Structure 1
Amino acid sequence: MLVTRTALVFAAATAAVALGTASAAAQTDNVPPTVGGGSGILVDSHVGCTLTTIGRDSAQRLVGLTAGHCGQPGATVVVEGDPDGAAVGRFVYSDHTLDYAVIEFDSARVTPVNQVGGTTITGLGGPASFPNVVCKRGSTSGTSCGVVWGDVRATATETWTQMCVMKGDSGAPVVIGSTLVGMVNAYLGVGCFGPEVGTNISAIMNDLNARGDIGAGYQPL
């Protein structure tokens, strides 16, 4: 499955700086970790994936999306890099046809944001098409962009692009500007030389709304 990066913590140069760092850490111990589209997540404490987006459904539940192959219903979610390593949500639905999953978050345990690493999500859009250029934010490879090839297999649910994707990037948001148009699901190649295959966010929303369960009526922050 997908392995995420390990955060590196550097020691302070002087005792005074070290003391200040310790005090700052103590002050932020009770602040919930931030999470948004592009954040790294650990599923059942060991499977590394990327959150596609976070927002509210029609019942005002705090929910997010990621790739379906990242976990099964009941799997717990931890924010990558959170020093507490506490579960902040759980998988409530996983679809292996469209390869997406719904996560319900505990609002008291996370600080939801709509911007991660320069990628901002303010709305949902239809499938991208050639010759658009889309970008993704993955927890492993960061931000990369590439040309859209389109729905090569004519499934009406997926789009192929020429973006660099690595292990840990599954679920990464695919955007045009600040509009979410898809998620990263697979990479058909070696390194960054093959096409990325992702599910269209419009297909996911149609399925979510038809089910009428947790996640229906979803809107990003």
Structure 2
Amino acid sequence: MLRRLSLIFAALVVIAATLGVGTATAAPPRAVLGGGSGIVLDDMYECTLTTIGHDNGGRLVGITAGHCGDAGWSVAPEADPDAGVVGRVAVSNSDYDYGIIEFDPAKVTPVDTIGQVTITDIGMPAQFPAVACKQGRTTGHTCGVVYGDVLQTQETWTQMCVVEGDSGSPVVVGTTLVAMVNAYVGVACLGPELGTNMLPIIENINATGGVGAGFRPI
């Protein structure tokens, strides 16, 4: 009887080896994202995340420049390509040039500090002669004097260095997010840089409702 059982066990071992036994694989680590992180939209367009937080629906959302992508486009972290798609553009607003990204909370770890920029709150536009700084995926951390809303168009002009790929970068005074990078005038890094003020963006998001309404940073 014992010999018969041993033969049956041996046969089962052979069958298992032939068919293969599945092994557990660990899920990839969550991508760390915050204001200043590089993001890739639709697998080809590189921009910068302005900020990340939650809306009044409890969703994990981020803000970036609207010209970076259309609604439905995929979003992946530039610094962690193995993470794959971690979110999608939910809203793209051309009037204020902002985009709202809804992230998968199972794939993203939100943080308030990227590089040399920390975001603790959202505040009033900066005025001359304040110094503002930004963190961008292309030119990193740069600072410059603030000229203010030169054309009264809800855009703050500064002398920070920005180039392509820095679109969406958070513009901060201290740890207060005051604007996002949208464009520059003239020659890259000679400026001036144009950043849409954050309070009008937040007001528009709240008035529109849906994804992003009630946004609060991490």
* Greater than 6 Å deviation, 4+ residue runs: none
**1:111–1:28 Cα change, 3 Å:** farther
The answer to whether the Cα contact below 8 Å between 2:83 and 2:107 also exists between their aligned partners in 1 is no
Distance 1:196 1:28 in 2: 44
Q: Which residue does the alignment assign to 2:155?
A: 158
Deviation track 1:27-86 (CA, whole Å, cap 9, x = no partner) reads 996211100000000001110000000000111110000000000000000000214151
1:167, distance to aligned residue in structure 2 (A): 1.1
Consecutive unaligned residues in structure 1, runs of 5 or more: 1-26
Alignment: residue pair count: 194
User: What root-mean-square deviation, in Å, do the aligned CA atoms of Structure 1 and Structure 2 show?
Assistant: 1.3
DSSP-derived class of the 2:180 partner:
strand
Percent of aligned pairs with the same amino acid: 57
**1:28–1:175 Cα change, 3 Å:** farther
Q: Which residue does the alignment assign to 1:62?
A: 60
The answer to whether the Cα contact below 8 Å between 2:55 and 2:214 also exists between their aligned partners in 1 is yes
DSSP-derived class of the 2:201 partner:
helix
DSSP-derived class of the 1:186 partner:
strand
DSSP-derived class of the 2:191 partner:
coil
Distance 2:81 2:158 in 1: 35
Consecutive unaligned residues in structure 2, runs of 5 or more: 1-24
Distance 1:122 1:44 in 2: 29
Distance 1:165 1:83 in 2: 24
Greater Rg by CA: 2
**1:28–1:80 Cα change, 3 Å:** farther
Counting only pairs closer than 5 Å after superposition, residues 76-155 of structure 1 correspond to structure 2 as 76-155=74-153
Q: Output the TM-score relative to the length of structure 2.
A: 0.86
